[in-house]
Every structure is written in C-alpha cells, then in structure tokens.
Structure 1
Amino acid sequence: MKKLQSSAAAAVLAAMSLVPLQAGAALFEDEEARRAILEIRARLTNMQNEINAKADKSNSLDLNNQNEQLRQEIARLRGQIEILTNELANAQKRQKDFYVDLDNRMRKLEPQTVTIDGKEFSVEQAEQRAYDTALAFFKAGDYKNAGASFYDFTRRYPNSGLAPSAQYWLGNTYYAQRDYKNAISAQQVVVRSYADSPKAADALLNIASCYLELKDRPSAKKALETLVAQYPGTPAAQTAQERLASLK
C-alpha cells in the first residue's frame, strides 16, 4: 500500500519538478504560455492531493479492493501526467517559436550599415527599400516612375546618406527623357547641397552634357572647367578634360 502511494507520489513529483527545469529558460513574457504552465502545475498539485485523499480513505476499504483501485488510479494519473507533460513541451515550443519570430522581425527593422561611393553610413530598412525600388525602375528603363520615386525619396529622406545618389539619379531620369532643363536643375542641387559627395563631380559632367544637348557650348565649357578645378584627379575630371579638348 505504502509502496503504491509512494510510487504515485514520485510520479507526480517527478513531473512537477520537470516543469520549472524545462520552462524556466524561455517563458518570460508570453502570457498565454505562462497561464498554461500555471494551470498544468495546479492540475498536477490536485492529482497529488487526490492520491493522498484516496490513501486516507483506504483504511475503510477491503485491502484487496483498495490495492486494485489504487493501481487503476495510479495508472490513470500517470496517463494524465504524460498528457500534461506533452502539453507543457508544446507550450514551451510555441513560446520559443514566438521569440524567434519576434527576434527576426526586430532584426529586419534595425538600421544597416552600407557603403556607397566609399562612404559608410547607417540606413533604415524602409529607406533602403525606397531607394532600391527607384533604382530598379531606372534600370528597367521606366524613367517616369524612377523620377517620381527618386523625387519622393529626396523629400522623405533629405538627410539620408543615400540622398546625394538619389538626387543624382533624379537628374539622370530627366536626362533620359530629354528634359535637359530639369536635368540641369536637379544636378545643380547635387553640386550645391552635396559638394563633398563623389556624385557632385558626376553631376557637373551631366550638366555639361545637358548644355551640349541644348547647343549651349559656353555653359557646357564652364561646367567642365568647374569640374576639373574642383574635383581634380577624379574619373569625371579626366572625362571633362577630354571633352574640353574637343570643344576648342
């Protein structure tokens, strides 16, 4: 009798001891999982009390009947303990999956460090996606949507490390559509506002090309001379010198 009671108690206590060991590391803030575990612990405690209560009543029963009933009850309780232990494992897995998913989503929102034109800076995910979308339009030859997207980018992210490039490509979308006056205006913003950007030299070269398309050779020559003077040694300056030689 005492052996059966001890065996049942040991089974329950073993399951109860498993709960904090398995759940302690992961279950912190997931309220649903915490409630599930508290409920499982309460049910295991009730089982222990139930076994003790049945043992107290056993004195009034026939010894053989008592032993058989206890065996059946212990088997039933062990089955329930197995079910509860499985439920606990599932609750732990759900919370682990929850935190893994949450961590992945948080990482996607974190700024990333990128290098453009030799400069390293931090870029938000939404910011990078907006720039990539605009550039994809340009590469696909959809200059109208590319221009609209780059223009929107420069208004939404004026202080972005990608802003000089976005403004430069905006000028190129106008050039590709033969809108040379707007192309000049867009590239002049690069030269004025982002003079220390490598894109400034390229912008001056583009300005000179626009003036040549407009048959304004003096303005084209001036833009090329400014480029050579302000950005010597750059690939754009080398190209500018070659064009100046052809304009003489």
Structure 2
Amino acid sequence: MRILLPIALVLATTALNTAHAQFGGSRQYNELREEMNARFEASGRGQLDLANQNEQLRSEVAGLRGQVEVLLHEIEQLKQRQRDFYVDLDDRIRGLEGHGGVAAGPGDPAAEASAYEAALNLLKEGKHTESLAAFEAFISEHPRSEMLPGANFWAGNAALQAREIVSARSFFNTVISNWPNDAIAPDAMLGLANSLRLMGEARQSEDTLRRILERYPDSSAAQVASQRLSGQ
C-alpha cells in the first residue's frame, strides 16, 4: 500500500499535467483536478483507518497475551496449593493411622482418614460428581472430625467442577463461617469469589476478593485476589 500510493501519485500528477496542457484552465481540467484530489483524500483516509485498525489489533493481542499469562500464573499457583494440601493430608493420615489397633467404626480415626482420602482421590481422578457425593457422606457421617474444614473445602471444589455452583457457594461459606482461622479459609474465600462470579454476581465476587486482602493479606489467595482486582 505504501509503495502503490507514490506510484499512483506520480501517475495522477502526469495525468493532470497532460490534462493541463490539453485543456489549460478549462472546466474539464478543473473537474478532473477536483476528482483526483477527492480520490487522494479518500485514499489517505483509508490508509489512516487501516493504520488505526492495525494499532487497535496489536493492542488487543497484547492485552490477550497478558490475560493468558495471568491465567497461567493462577493455574500454577492453584496447582502448588493443591500439592501442599495433598502433602498436609498425607501427614494427617499418617498421624491418624498411628492410632492403629482400633476396630473400624464410627469415630474411628483410621476410618475417617480412609473415607477422606477416597473422596479426595475421586476428585484427583476428575470424578467430580462422585467426589462431591463422597465428601457429603463424610461430612454427614463424621460431624466432629478435625478434617471437616478440608472436607467442606474440597466438597466446594468438587461441586464447582460439577457445575453445581449453589452447592459450591454453600460449602465455601461453611468453611469461612465455621473455621475462619483455618489455613484453608483464604482459599475457601477465593472459591466463594469464583462461585459468585459464575453465578453472575460480579460485584459480590469483587467484594469477596477485597475481603481476602483485608483478612488474609499474606496468603497466596490474596495474591490471586489482588491480580484479579487490578485486572492483570
């Protein structure tokens, strides 16, 4: 386009010079000159519009790249927190299994650990509906378990993955209300923000992200909340 325009200008100038030689200051010459000027103005506007569109596209692509980088960072953080949770869970299970010799039954620590691990393994395998049902059963059968904060949190995650958003919100709220000082509470609040966003409650979701920054400023969940609020 940049090469063609000068060529067109040369050709047009030659045509005008020829017309001027033939017609001088006649009406035909003036009409031809006005027509050529109009064409050049239209061509210039077209080039300017094209340049603006290209700049807008470059800006949009840069913005999309930034969003992708943020999402990848969030995913990596979530994976790391999940790995940390699994390590903590394994430690708890080994501790509970240290109480061996007790017959399996209600209130048996080994039975609790086994049921919890089975529900979590279903979630690891991507069986979200089955995992949700298993965690719901665990919560019902072990109402005094020390694992209830984690059980409700993972039930919320399973419900979120199963697209049972209302249930997910309820589980996350349970963690926040009953165990606000548990290490898993910041992530439960982040899960609540995700649930609200999926329900179309954008303002409440943002308010929840701000609450994470206020209550748990040093948590990894706060880092994610800060990034989302800043639109990075």
TM-score w.r.t. the length of structure 1 is 0.50
Query: Which residue of 2 is the match for residue 203 of structure 1?
Result: 188
Q: CA deviation at 1:235?
A: 0.4
C-alpha displacement of 1:130: 0.5
Give 3-state SS (helix, strand or coil) of 1:208's partner: helix
Match of 2:127 in 1: 142
Cα distance in 2 for residues equivalent to 1:187 and 1:168: 6
Deviation (angstroms), 1:158: 2.2
Instruction: Mark the CA change 1:156 to 1:246 in structure 2 (over 3 Å): closer, same or farther.
Output: same
Query: 2: CA distance between counterparts of 1:158 and 1:230?
Result: 27
In the aligned structure 2, how far is the partner of 1:203 from the partner of 1:133? 21
Flag structure 1 segments of 5+ consecutive residues without an equivalent: 1-105, 112-122
Which whole-Å deviations, capped at 9, do the CAs of 1:200-225 have from their partners, x for residues lacking one? Answer: 11011011111222222101011111
Q: What CA distance in whole angstroms lies between the structure 2 residues aligned with 1:155 and 1:213?
A: 27
Gaps of 5+ in 2: 1-97
Selected match of 1:108 from 100, 111, 114: 100
Residue 229 of structure 1 corresponds to: 214
1:109, 1:124 within 8 Å by CA — same for their partners in 2? no
SS at match of 2:111: helix
**Cα distance between partner residues in 1 of 2:175 and 2:213:** 16
Aligned partners of 1:202 and 1:236 also within 8 Å = yes
Amino acid at match of 1:126: A
Aligned identity (percent) is 27
Deviation at 1:107, TM superposition (A): 6.4
Verify: 1:166 aligned to 2:151, yes or no: yes
- Aligned counterparts of 1:202 and 1:110: Cα–Cα separation in 2: 34
> TM-score, normalised on structure 2?
0.53
Residues 184, 210 of structure 1: 8 Å contact kept: yes
Q: CA deviation at 1:110?
A: 4.7
- SS at 2:143 equivalent: coil
CA–CA distance in structure 2, aligned partners of residues 225 and 159 of structure 1 = 31
> Structure 2: how far apart are the matches of 1:140 and 1:166?
17
CA contact (8 A) 1:184 1:207 kept: yes
- Residue 240 of structure 1 and its aligned partner are, at CA, apart by 0.8
Q: Matches of 2:180 and 2:144 in 1, distance apart?
A: 14
Give the greater-gyration-radius structure (CA). 1
CA contact (8 A) 1:109 1:125 kept: no
Partner of 1:155: 140
Q: How do 1:62-141 and structure 2 match up within 5 A?
A: 108-110=100-102, 124-141=109-126
Which has the larger strand fraction?
A: 1
Name the aligned partner's letter for residue 134 of structure 2: S
Confirm whether residue 218 of structure 1 aligns to residue 210 of structure 2: no
- C-alpha separation in 2, matches of 1:187 and 1:138: 16
Partners of 1:158 and 1:142 in 2: CA distance: 24
